[in-house]
Amino acid sequence: MDQDIFKHDHALSSWITLCISRDGVTTTVLMIETDLNLNAKDSNYRKDSIDSLVAAAVAYVGDHPHIDTIEIEQMRQGSLDVTSLGD
């Protein structure tokens, strides 16, 4: 699987996904997971860092015309506990 295709200090992971409309029209999406807080009303919001991430993502898409749009998602808080694997 093609993971982490986009590189930036605040991009924790990135991948390509498809969005499909009811009419069967597909949109290719660059998904980016970030460690930045994306809520502008939060005290931890860092506009300069977000602007840098957005600018880099837009430049990346400019060099990859098969990508239609970008989605940036904040990393979810909390941890996942694995209690068992397999049998």
Report pLDDT digits (tens) over 64-86. 999 999 999 998 775 555 555 56
- 81 falls within a domain: no
- Count of structural domains, the chain: 1
Q: Is residue 41 part of a domain?
A: yes
Question: Which residues touch 53 (CB under 8 Å, ≥6 apart)?
Answer: 8, 10, 11, 32, 34, 36, 72
* Cross-strand bridge partners of residue 33: 13, 73
Domain residues for the domain of 28 are: 11-74
- Is position 1 within any domain? no
Residue 36 falls inside a structural domain: yes
Q: Where are the alpha helices (DSSP H) in 1-87?
A: 47-62
Has residue 45 been placed in a domain? Answer: yes
Q: What mean pLDDT do residues 23-45 have? A: 96
Instruction: Judge whether 59 lies within some domain.
Output: yes
Answer yes or no: is 86 within a domain.
Answer: no
What is the reported pTM? Answer: 0.81
Query: What distances in angstroms separate CA 28 from CA 34, 35, 85, one per listed residue?
Result: 19, 23, 33
> Does 20 map to a domain?
yes
